[in-house]
Amino acid sequence: MIDPATLTLLTLAAAVACLLTERLRPDIVALLVVAALTLAGVLTPAEAFAGFSGPVVITITSIYVLAEAVHRTGAALRIGRWLETASGGGEARLVAAVMASGAALSLFMNNIAAASLLLPPAASASRRSGVSPSRVLLPLAYGTILGGMATLLTTTNLIVSGILQRQGLEGFGLLDFAPIGVPVVAAGIAWMVIAGRRALPARAPLDMMPGAAAAETDVVSTYHLSERLFRARIPAGSALIGGDLAHCRLREDFDVWVVAVERAGESVQAPLPTFTIHEGDILLLEGDRADFAARDLEPKLELMPERAWRGSDFESREIVVSECVLSPRSRLIGRSLAEARFRERTGMTVLAIWRGGRQLREGATGRKAPLAALRLQFGDALLLQGPRDRLGALSVDPDLIMLSRPAQEPAPPGRGWLALLILAGTLTAAATRPDLVSGIMLGGALAMVLSGLVTMDQAYQAVEWRTVFLVAGMLSIGVAMNHSGAAADIAALLPGLTGHAGPWALCAGFFGAALLLTQVMPGSAVSAIVAPLAIGAAADLGASPYPFAMAVALATSMALLSPAGHPVNALVMGPGGYRVREYFKAGFPLMIIVSAVILLLLPVFWSFS
């Protein structure tokens, strides 16, 4: 019969393999871990499911609700205005302002929420200052990641603190991470301002947005729209004459979208589905010209000669070209535009999709596919064309993050100060009573609901339940490692591997291992796996567990090398036009600098004895 320690290690190995190969979603892996440890008898059901009602999960869900209230009341709009003011000082000043704002917000908000909130004003500020957004948006992502390292209210920090508490030790307080986290933020901003931003490209699809200096040319060149745009005339006798666009079946029969209609020298941009087709109309179509030409066009349409296109060809007084990205919890993720009935629901036509540094034209299988059939992914940027007055409604759509503001931005509802007051009171109470952080954060979230700043339905929608289940499930592996003795067995071996160089060297070893794993696995999962081992190794050496736990918590926040490392990295990929290699090019030097700061300051503020 296999002993519990071996069963735990086998379960851990299987979980790591699943997380590395990404064959299953991380939250499903976490739930499978809970089921396996329970069915194998390593943990009792009460132990296995304790994480779902533990203080870590309560705190995380409360943070999502607090951040949603701050967002919905418009309290954070002041930060956007400050960013636009700061943009007058050039690229270096804008990068510093964006990173500092991201770090400040992530002190009390989830990193994803902070980045989502700052993405539109950062994009707007970059356009107004003439700076390529690709030099600003990745620093924004890094700023939120680094800022989250300076407070307890980050998922990985909360997990490690919870593991300490489960082992009968005192957890970290709200401000315990600040002595190291604040210098880390300062060093990260300094590096990106002085040299790091130069490793980033000076191009992005945002350059073509309304208000940009080169709006008329970049919309075509950035999204390669010239390769997808062509004109076709309605000849005499066409079966389309007298019908409307909704029933002409151009999308179904020819895989093309009607972008505009030319009639008697006038151009009708983004015509409505009820637009009636007349003889002699010239349709501006978006699609595959060669595929279109190969089909039987007569007596419906007649191809026109090719011509050059400018950005102004897509806009008018009423029609605007804009860009958005999918929000982290967007219901559009995994669905196609056709399935989501995007045009019918939003009133906007999607001219192009930007993913991973290129415009998409093919389906997942590599074959040619209509744009409407492509399944959307988190981080996709959508180039939209439609009525200007629709931007206001889209700016509050929970599925989208608009990267350009409405012409007349609605004023904040006036309750932003109340949201900030509740947030400030919550954080102050949490700092003074670290033993009651989860209850205080829950109280703050409930205060937002009772004050009417968010409804309960909005609160439920605000929570990233995939993260909650991942955290709750992976906490069980830490409990099993401790109860089964697997953590103690591994901890007893590690001092020999470091050559008995002392606790600092061993701590640095755990830091390095956690840092490497975090680049390919969710940081929350890595912290739940490595923290029990580090704490056990400290106990075996007779050293304090706190510097070991702190090292693991900070290391598992540093997912800087790829868009898959952290959701905020994926969030800026589309609007920044980044390629995967550019994350490594910019993130690797930053990771080395931040790691050096952490390992140097760790023994200064946290004694190993």
Q: Average of pLDDT values for 534-554? A: 90
Same domain, 51 and 152: yes
Same domain, 48 and 116: yes
pLDDT digits (tens, 9 = 90+) for 348-364: 888 888 876 677 754 44
> How many domains does the chain fold into?
3
**CA dist., res. 446 & res. 58, Å (int):** 12
Same domain, 83 and 176: yes
How far from each other are the two terminal CA atoms of the chain, in whole angstroms?
Answer: 40
487 occurs within a structural domain: yes
Q: For the chain, what is the radius of gyration of the CA atoms? A: 27
Same domain, 30 and 63: yes
Question: Does the structure show a pLDDT above 50 at 568?
Answer: yes
The residue out of 314, 343, 374 marking a domain boundary is: 314
pLDDT digits (tens, 9 = 90+) for 509-521: 899 988 988 887 7
268 occurs within a structural domain: yes
pLDDT digits (tens, 9 = 90+) for 46-71: 888 887 877 878 887 888 888 778 77
Same domain, 384 and 484: no
Q: What is the amino acid identity at position 16?
A: V
Same domain, 374 and 456: no
Question: Does the structure show a pLDDT above 80 at 82?
Answer: no
- 457-463 long-range contacts, Cβ below 8 Å, gap at least 24? 458/68, 458/72, 459/64, 459/65, 459/68, 461/329, 461/398, 462/64, 462/65, 462/67, 462/68, 463/61, 463/64, 463/65
The residue out of 258, 290, 314 marking a domain boundary is: 314
* CATH number of the domain bearing residue 369: 3.30.70.1450
**Which of 154-163, 259-268, 398-407 is predicted with the least confidence, judged by mean pLDDT?**
398-407
413 occurs within a structural domain: no
Same domain, 391 and 489: no
Q: Which helix (H) or strand (E) is 70 found in, with range?
A: helix 55-72
Name the more confident of 366 and 98.
98
Give the highest mean pLDDT range of 30-34, 108-112, 430-434.
30-34
| DSSP one-letter code for 228 | T
Same domain, 288 and 328: no
The residue out of 350, 369, 402 marking a domain boundary is: 402
Same domain, 429 and 541: yes
Find out whether the peptide bond into 305 is cis, omega within 30 degrees of 0: no
Same domain, 371 and 462: no
Same domain, 33 and 81: yes
Per-residue pLDDT, 86: 61
464 occurs within a structural domain: yes
- Residue 427 banded pLDDT, cuts 50, 70, 90: confident
Name the more confident of 125 and 603.
603
Name the more confident of 247 and 129.
247
From 566, 487, 456, select the one nearest 112 (Cα to Cα).
Answer: 566
Q: What is the amino acid identity at position 330?
A: S
Name the more confident of 155 and 316.
155
pTM beyond 0.75, yes or no? no
380 occurs within a structural domain: yes
Six token digits for residue 11: 């379960």
From 29, 30, 33, select the one nearest 7 (Cα to Cα).
Answer: 33
Question: Does the structure show a pLDDT above 90 at 553?
Answer: yes
From residue 328, alpha-carbon distances to 12, 350, 386, 462, 574 in Å are 28, 19, 24, 10, 13
Six token digits for residue 530: 């490595």
376 occurs within a structural domain: yes
Same domain, 460 and 596: yes
210 occurs within a structural domain: no
415 occurs within a structural domain: no
Residue 252's domain spans which residues? 215-314
